[in-house]
Structure 1
Amino acid sequence: MSLPVHIRRCAGLIALCAMLALAGCDLEWEKPDLATPLPERFRAAAPTSAPSFHSAHEFAGRFGSAELTRVIDEALAGNNDIAAAVARITEADAQARVSSAPLFPTLSNVNNFERLQIPSTVYGVGVGNSAGLATASSTSSSPFGARRIDFYSLGLNASYTLDIWGVNQDASKAARLLANASRFNRQVVEIATVASTLNAYFAVLNAQDQLRIVNENARIAGKVLTALKARREVGLATVLDVAQQQTVYDTQLAMIPPLQQTLAQQINLLAVLLGRTPESFSIQGTTLKRLHFPKIDPGLPSEVLLRRPDVAEAEARLASQEFSVLQARAAFFPQIQLTGQYGVESIVWRNLATPQAIFWQVLATTTQPLFDGWNLQGQYELQKGKYSELAANYRKQTLTALSDTENALIAIAQTQRHLSLQEDSVASARQALTAAQARLSEGTIDIVTLATNETAYFQGQLVLEQVRLARYQAATTFYQALGGGWSATTREAEIARADAAYETDKGLWP
């Protein structure tokens, strides 16, 4: 039997719309170029082998402080940022499992018990008899002449979407790569935490060093002030001389409270980094001068990129987004879903075990997008745009890694040079102050010259300690720039752990 003309016309119109929709969709995709030319060596260092440290514990040990090593170990174990990053790994693994679920068939058990009452106003006209229900053993009568019927159903429902175009497979791969990225991010957080802990520890020692210097300078200035007051008593010094020296002395005393504040706050910061309350934490270390400056070689630029977990994270997110683009493109094509039902039904409970109660159904459904207001095209363009954004971020991350290493090398070299020059400057200022104090005792120097030499020496000492702190902070920056001992081997191990987490209890399908 032929279809009516209006139905045939509608079918033809729908087919035409489908062809026009697919024809109007640009499914071509030209991926952005990710190539970044790498230099053969760093400008600020000669080509050397890769750094020999492989962990934060090992790097901390190179400073020669058992307390610092213990502090770093405690930060790795108790820091809350690291704990949050570990939790994000669990979340990403779970999300990968959720995104991979459509790869598997779904099976559910559906059991029903139904009781139906047919009123006598319907039953009386023979509806119940015509259905054969009035004589069934599961029926009963109510006081009003109505019939009550029981219905039992036990069954299984199954469904599975044929992943012909790879929609579900792409979603699974994208989520699994994001799980890898979460593991790399955990390493990024760990390295940042170690760097913050190192710098906070150095700042504590630096504040203690400056406090000792300021207290000693105040003692020296006070001693000179006492001498000038004695000289004023006998007419060898003026009130102006005493007032000027009093200013120098008071200036040194005024520097103590800010340094004590810095010391206390840096100790509190360390406590938080270690996951402890400030009241339960203290530092025994006394001076930066007792620490050893670690000797580290940067290796080659290409090696640095392999050692940086932030580069690996950017790469994993970019690879994940590529599968998201492929998933959005595959959504344009037909989807085929298979569904099935199998079970038993009866109005009598005991008849459920008989072959006559078995029922089953198999259904195949094909869905083809025809027109959705260009939603699929918009989703496709959106995913391509995200890929281009992540590609730019990846290129930037590689350049940042190289720049970080170069800057750290420059900082180490220049702070070492600055430290040497500042030490010479302080030594000269000390000699000048000693000579000025001697001439003061002889009564052959004016107070302005003495105060100038005092101020130069006092300020020079504080600058020297600031430079010393900057040098150790440059070592921390270098550790961070080199990826904190992370390596390509570590990356492979993290990926293997992620794959193992996905495969656990997966079963044989698909």
Structure 2
Amino acid sequence: MQTPDTASQSHGSRRKAGRVAIALAALLGLAACATAPPYQPPAVDTPAAYKEAGASAAHPGGPAGIAPDWWRVYADARLDTLEQRIDVSSQTLRKAVALLQDARAQARAAHAAYFPTVGAGLSTGSSHTSANVVGRSLAGKTEPDHLLGLTASWEPDLWGRIGNGVDAAEARAQASADDVAAVRLGLQAELAADYFSLRSADRELDLLGRTVEAYGTVLALAGNRYRGGIATEGDVAQARAQLENTKAQLADLRLNRAQLEHAIATLVGEPAARFSLPPLADTSVLPALPAMPAALPSQLLERRPDIAAAERRVAAANAQIGVARAAFFPSLLLAVSGGVESTSLAGWLTAPSRFWAIGPALAATLFDGGRRQAVADSARAQFDASAADYRGIVLRAFQEVEDNFAALHALQQEAASQQAASEASERALALGLDRYRKGAVAYLDVSVLESAALASERAAEAVHRRQLVASVLLVKALGGGWEEPKDSRSADTAIGSEPWR
């Protein structure tokens, strides 16, 4: 049976425990208010399939990873060699890797806030007190002071400020890793497009070279006919004009090829003056166009590094909201210090020289003119802006895929028609030249046929070049190809460092 005193003490203990429970519940509630909002990637209304991809089936094995050597589907050994040089020599890629290393360092710096900060101090000096100060025992005296101390402080993460800061920094580092992947993919695609344009220029140069030779033969024929009184001087002038115009086109095409060669040199990190890419011995050999796939939108979202980077920046902005919210709540600092202090160095060895201090400190901002609210509003606005960026990048990604699917379908039909037109033009020119040799037509008729034949052949080459470039852009739009990677390891490996993600 409880006595009145015992009952009173028990009741008091229960009330104290109740107050503690209420205080803890209030703290937990405040902590919940201070954390970042639950994160979900921004929703994007995406179609079930690509409209321009045709009726081919989607990849049966699920999402395919980025093929680290996607350009090998074109079966061009020289392109393989050039693409491999990007990782070694590209200064643009090295800059992206350096920014990634900076982001990782900032993430480590943010993570360090979880741990106590420990410092040490050593000071020695002397002080002299004025002799005219009344009431001081040291008036008129000079006293040395030697101090050696350690301090340690630690801030518990009560409101999630540190945790959300770490989450934001890590998300930014992951975004930087995806930026490296996006830069690398962009450089690879640009190099492949420039390389195919250069090889196409080689084919056109070969075509124009043969055309110049043919026009030279025709000019000689017109001159002989003129001297024989069969042709007019106008025929000779027309043939010479045709020849010189083609030579001018040849010179312009040589300039275009030189500029493409210089661009490739820069992409692989070599001065243009020391880089050379000679024409192939057999310009009739063409890179084969890879078969077009039909990839699901989910595959695109998982593969494209620019989309992944944008999503990580949305996550970082969401965590930053939690950092801004935590500023509304008091911060708790646990500090301890200790050491020895004496008027002589020898006194450090005695027990009375020791000093120490320990205790918590709770600090809160009561009024700041609305600064914290403005910071919180800014964090929310930055989240909304990041989410809009993400949705915009996703929509542009779908546009790029649809554009290049449509281009490949249209160019396939155009190539067939253009090939037929070239064959017909060549046949018409052969017949026209034969009639001209027999004196049945004037050279003006032959000149028209020659111009049409050359234009048709150059147009056919332009269509093939556009097909190759469109296939490269489709590879880039799909995030680096549609083939399964050769191993399970991601291609996300920076130059001489650990995996990106």
Give the number of aligned pairs: 460
Q: 1:173 to 1:53 in 2, by over 3 A?
A: closer
Where does residue 93 of structure 2 map in the other structure? 82
Alignment partner of 1:159 is 2:127 = no
Give 1:152 deviation, angstroms: 1.0
Matched to 1:260, the amino acid is R
Give 1:296 deviation, angstroms: 4.3
1:36 to 41, 44, 50: 44
Q: Can you list the C-alpha shifts for 1:462-497, whole angstroms capped at 9, x where unaligned?
A: 1111111101001111110111149997679889xx
When the two structures are superposed, what TM-score results if normalisation uses the length of structure 2? Answer: 0.85
Matched to 2:72, the amino acid is G
Where does residue 426 of structure 1 map in the other structure? 422
Alignment partner of 1:362 is 2:372 = no
1:207 to 201, 204, 209: 201
Where does residue 58 of structure 2 map in the other structure? 48
Q: 1:36 to 1:258 in 2, by over 3 A?
A: same
Q: Which runs of 5+ in 2 are unaligned?
A: 1-29
Alignment partner of 1:67 is 2:78 = yes
Alignment partner of 1:409 is 2:420 = no
Does the 8 Å CA contact 2:332/2:362 hold for their aligned counterparts? yes
Alignment of 1:109-148 (within 5 A): 109-118=120-129, 121-122=131-132, 127=136, 130-131=137-138, 147-148=141-142
1:98 to 105, 109, 132: 109
Where does residue 5 of structure 2 map in the other structure? none
- The whole-number CA distance in structure 2 between the counterparts of 1:499 and 1:199 is 30
Where does residue 212 of structure 2 map in the other structure? 218
Where does residue 6 of structure 2 map in the other structure? none
Where does residue 334 of structure 1 map in the other structure? 330
2:177 to 169, 174, 183: 183
Q: Secondary structure at the match of 1:282?
A: coil
Sequence identity, in percent?
27
Matched to 1:158, the amino acid is A
- The whole-number CA distance in structure 1 between the counterparts of 2:275 and 2:498 is 40
Q: 1:186 to 1:32 in 2, by over 3 A?
A: closer
Q: 1:173 to 1:414 in 2, by over 3 A?
A: same
Alignment partner of 1:107 is 2:118 = yes
Q: Can you list the C-alpha shifts for 1:236-265, whole angstroms capped at 9, x where unaligned?
A: 111222222222111101112211111111
Alignment partner of 1:150 is 2:144 = yes
Q: 1:126 to 1:336 in 2, by over 3 A?
A: closer
The higher relative CO (CA closer than 8 Å, separation ≥ 6) is in: 2
Does the 8 Å CA contact 1:298/1:482 hold for their aligned counterparts? no
Q: 1:309 to 1:30 in 2, by over 3 A?
A: closer
Q: 1:494 to 1:210 in 2, by over 3 A?
A: closer
- The whole-number CA distance in structure 2 between the counterparts of 1:469 and 1:313 is 32
- The whole-number CA distance in structure 1 between the counterparts of 2:161 and 2:491 is 27
Give 1:28 deviation, angstroms: 11
Matched to 2:58, the amino acid is T
Q: Secondary structure at the match of 1:107?
A: strand
Give 1:229 deviation, angstroms: 1.3
Give 1:371 deviation, angstroms: 1.8
Alignment of 1:292-371 (within 5 A): 292-371=288-367
Give 1:501 deviation, angstroms: 9.6
2:440 to 439, 444, 451: 444
Does the 8 Å CA contact 1:305/1:311 hold for their aligned counterparts? yes
Matched to 2:67, the amino acid is S
Q: 1:79 to 1:499 in 2, by over 3 A?
A: closer
Greater mean deviation of Cα atoms: 226-235 or 295-304:
295-304
Where does residue 267 of structure 2 map in the other structure? 273
Matched to 1:276, the amino acid is E
Q: 1:415 to 1:230 in 2, by over 3 A?
A: same
- The whole-number CA distance in structure 2 between the counterparts of 1:51 and 1:436 is 57
- The whole-number CA distance in structure 1 between the counterparts of 2:279 and 2:493 is 36
Where does residue 456 of structure 1 map in the other structure? 452
Q: Which runs of 5+ in 1 are unaligned?
A: 1-21, 134-145, 503-510
Greater mean deviation of Cα atoms: 376-385 or 146-155:
146-155
Give the RMSD, CA atoms, in angstroms: 3.0
Where does residue 235 of structure 1 map in the other structure? 229
- The whole-number CA distance in structure 1 between the counterparts of 2:126 and 2:314 is 57
Q: Can you list the C-alpha shifts for 1:93-115, whole angstroms capped at 9, x where unaligned?
A: 11112223322211100111112
- The whole-number CA distance in structure 1 between the counterparts of 2:500 and 2:150 is 30
- The whole-number CA distance in structure 2 between the counterparts of 1:428 and 1:391 is 55
Q: 1:305 to 1:84 in 2, by over 3 A?
A: same
Does the 8 Å CA contact 1:51/1:296 hold for their aligned counterparts? no
- The whole-number CA distance in structure 2 between the counterparts of 1:221 and 1:310 is 51
Give 1:366 deviation, angstroms: 2.0
Q: 1:118 to 1:352 in 2, by over 3 A?
A: same
Where does residue 251 of structure 1 map in the other structure? 245
Where does residue 22 of structure 2 map in the other structure? none
When the two structures are superposed, what TM-score results if normalisation uses the length of structure 1? Answer: 0.83
Give 1:402 deviation, angstroms: 2.0
Does the 8 Å CA contact 1:206/1:288 hold for their aligned counterparts? no
Q: Secondary structure at the match of 2:120?
A: strand
Matched to 1:189, the amino acid is V
Does the 8 Å CA contact 1:41/1:47 hold for their aligned counterparts? no
Where does residue 376 of structure 1 map in the other structure? 372
Q: 1:492 to 1:418 in 2, by over 3 A?
A: closer
Matched to 1:371, the amino acid is F
- The whole-number CA distance in structure 2 between the counterparts of 1:501 and 1:106 is 30
- The whole-number CA distance in structure 2 between the counterparts of 1:367 and 1:96 is 26
- The whole-number CA distance in structure 2 between the counterparts of 1:178 and 1:26 is 21
Q: 1:88 to 1:30 in 2, by over 3 A?
A: closer
Does the 8 Å CA contact 1:32/1:388 hold for their aligned counterparts? no
Q: Can you list the C-alpha shifts for 1:130-183, whole angstroms capped at 9, x where unaligned?
A: 34x9xxxxxxxxxxxx74422111111112222211111111110011001110
Matched to 2:307, the amino acid is V
Does the 8 Å CA contact 1:38/1:302 hold for their aligned counterparts? no
Q: Can you list the C-alpha shifts for 1:264-296, whole angstroms capped at 9, x where unaligned?
A: 111111111111122322224523743222224
Give 1:48 deviation, angstroms: 2.0
Give 1:413 deviation, angstroms: 1.7
- The whole-number CA distance in structure 2 between the counterparts of 1:159 and 1:342 is 12
- The whole-number CA distance in structure 1 between the counterparts of 2:34 and 2:323 is 15
- The whole-number CA distance in structure 1 between the counterparts of 2:333 and 2:426 is 87
Moved beyond 4 Å, runs of 4+: 25-33, 50-54, 485-495, 498-502
Does the 8 Å CA contact 1:157/1:339 hold for their aligned counterparts? yes
Q: Secondary structure at the match of 2:402?
A: helix
Where does residue 17 of structure 1 map in the other structure? none
